[in-house]
């Protein structure tokens, strides 16, 4: 029976060759110590002198090295994921504004990675709203009041109302201010935000006509409104349960993009489950691909207001009126933080301590909780 041939790793071959090159011992002595033929050592020495230590690398050694590198890379990725999970835990209950404030340089997370983790558009992180002139602020406050009282008013009727009050103003200026406030598109219909253009935006039919709404989570409605500050303005999105009139979620943003709408819907679904139907206007925030994917992926069906139909989203429109006359118009918010805290406190009171006329002496929280 033939003797099994001994195998040497590249490191072992390298050590044997180094001893041979030193010349402190004869090749035969080295061969005897390592149980290898002297001619083999001579061949290894020759190869080494010609090509260096890399000539002894084998496929097995390569595989071992690749495995070690793969494991090291995997451990790094696991560590990175754990770090990201811990970082995200800090933002679980934060709205879009808080998320933007918390994004900052981090040695383990780049700014772009932080934005991706919390689904923020990086460009919005650097957006700075233009300062609004004092005269325009006063006009926007009055336009908001007129619109809240007369949601069917377009720019022409608002201009006429302002002129009756003695203000010298043309229709073009009213249109620009309404556009800045996010209410330009209500004329001729009830549509607070501009409709999206192109294949990325899709409009759905209105499903609530003649529909009997008899239970919580059957229909939710969402919308965006303008909130005035002492020296500027912000946008508020809210989601209301149509049956109970409970406000399920809300977000405030300095920009009228889709991100705070997505955040509000995601938070409502996480806390209360998904609705059967979500009703909104045809604004680009709600018709965008990302928003539609989120809503449809949650198991809900889309319903959208028809153009020119002022009562299609009446549940949320009535809440805007209640909020503005019960909170916003009574305050002069000096900052976004002050507006956020004030509106949050009002919504908590509206949900838990204020009986809704639709349900007699019961609050929205009570109706939603009992019926659910």
Rounded CA separation 335/119 (Å): 25
Of the CA atoms within 13 Å of residue 9, those in its CB half-sphere come to 9
In the predicted model, is pLDDT for residue 297 greater than 90?
yes
Q: Is the dihedral of CA 100, 101, 103, 105 positive or negative?
A: positive
Burial class (CB in 10 A: 0-12, 13-18, 19+), 190: buried
Number of H helices, E strands in the chain: 16, 5
The CA distance from 324 to 37, in Å, is 95
Q: Given a cut of 60, is residue 156 above it in pLDDT? A: yes
Distances in Å between the alpha carbon of 341 and those of 84, 320, 331, 335, 369?
29, 17, 12, 10, 25
pLDDT one-digit tens code per residue, 309-339: 556 788 898 899 999 989 998 888 888 899 9
pTM of the predicted model as reported, rounded to 2 decimal places: 0.60
% pLDDT > 90, the chain: 28
- Token digits for 356? 């809704």
Segment 188-203, tens digit of pLDDT: 334 444 555 555 678 8
Distance CA 28, CA 37 (A): 8
223 forms beta bridges with 238
In tens, the pLDDT along 44-80 reads: 888 877 775 555 555 555 666 666 666 666 666 666 6
Least confident window among 37-41, 74-78, 312-316, 356-360? 74-78
pLDDT at 213: 93
Q: Which H helix or E strand runs over 302? A: strand 301-304
Confidence of residue 37 (pLDDT cuts 50, 70, 90): confident
């Amino acid at each position: 029976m033939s003797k099994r041939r001994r195998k040497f790793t590249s490191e072992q071959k390298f050590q044997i060759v180094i001893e041979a090159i030193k010349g402190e011992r004869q090749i035969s002595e080295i061969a005897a110590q390592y149980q290898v033929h002297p001619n083999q050592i001579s061949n290894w020495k020759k190869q080494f002198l010609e090509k260096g230590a890399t000539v002894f690398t084998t496929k097995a050694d390569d595989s071992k090295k690749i495995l070690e590198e793969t494991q090291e890379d995997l451990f790094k990725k696991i560590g990175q994921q754990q770090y990201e999970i811990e970082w995200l835990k800090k933002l679980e209950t934060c709205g879009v504004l808080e998320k933007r404030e918390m994004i900052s340089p981090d040695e383990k997370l780049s700014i772009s990675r932080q934005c991706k983790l919390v689904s923020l558009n990086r460009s919005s992180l650097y957006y700075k709203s233009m300062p609004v002139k004092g005269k325009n602020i006063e006009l926007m406050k009055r336009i908001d009041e007129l619109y809240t009282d007369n949601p069917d008013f377009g720019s022409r009727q608002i201009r006429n109302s302002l002129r009756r009050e003695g203000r010298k103003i043309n229709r073009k200026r009213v249109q620009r201010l309404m556009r800045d406030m996010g209410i330009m598109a209500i004329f001729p219909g009830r549509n607070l935000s501009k409709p999206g253009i192109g294949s990325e935006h899709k409009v759905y039919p209105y499903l609530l006509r003649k529909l009997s709404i008899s239970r919580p989570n059957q229909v939710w409605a969402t919308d965006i409104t303008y909130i005035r500050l002492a020296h500027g303005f912000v946008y508020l999105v809210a989601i209301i349960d149509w049956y109970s009139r409970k406000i399920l979620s809300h977000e405030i943003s300095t920009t009228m993009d889709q991100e705070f709408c997505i955040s509000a819907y995601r938070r409502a679904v996480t806390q209360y489950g998904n609705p059967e139907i979500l009703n909104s206007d045809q604004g680009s925030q709600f018709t965008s691909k990302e928003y539609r994917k989120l809503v449809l992926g949650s198991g809900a069906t889309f319903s959208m207001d028809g153009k020119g139909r002022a009562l299609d989203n009446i549940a949320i429109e009535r809440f805007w009126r209640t909020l503005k006359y019960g909170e916003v118009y009574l305050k002069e918010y000096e900052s976004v933080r002050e507006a956020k805290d004030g509106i949050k406190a009002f919504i908590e009171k509206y949900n838990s301590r204020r009986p809704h006329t639709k349900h007699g002496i019961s609050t929205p929280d009570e109706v939603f909780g009992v019926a659910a």
